[in-house]
Structure 1
Amino acid sequence: MINKELENDYPIMEEIMLKGIIDTHCHMDDPCFADRLDQMLEEQQEAGVVAIMNSGSELPSSLRSCEMAEKYDMVYASVGIYPNETASLPEDYIETLRGYAKRKKVVAIGEIGMDYGYEEHPDPAIQEKCFREQLVLAEELDLPVVIHNREADEDTLRILKDYHVRGAIHRIFSPIAYAREFIKMGIYMGFGPQITYPGSDGLVQLARECPKELILLETDAPFLPNYGMEMPATPDMIAKVAETISEIRGDMTPQEVVDTARENAARLYHIAC
Structure 2
Amino acid sequence: MRRTVLPVITASLLVPLLAACGSENGGTGSRTGEERGTTRITVLAASSLTDVFTAAGAAYEKEHVGTEVTFSFNGSQELASQVRQGVPADALVTADTKTMDGLKENTGDPVVIARNRLTIATARGNPEKIGGLKDLSRSGLKVVLAAPEVPVGRYSQKILDGAGVKVRAVSQEPNVRAVLSKVELGEADAGLVYVTDAATAGGRVSTVAVPDAQNAVASYPAAVLDDSEHREEASDFVRWLASPKAQKLLRDAGFQAP
User: Normalising TM by the smaller chain, what interval?
Assistant: under 0.3
- Larger RCO (CA within 8 A; separation ≥ 6): 2
Q: Could you state the TM-score of these two structures normalised by the residue count of structure 2?
A: 0.26
Higher helix proportion (structure 1 or 2): 1
* Higher relative strand content: 2
Which structure has the bigger radius of gyration?
2
Taking structure 1 as the reference length, what is the TM-score of the superposition? 0.25
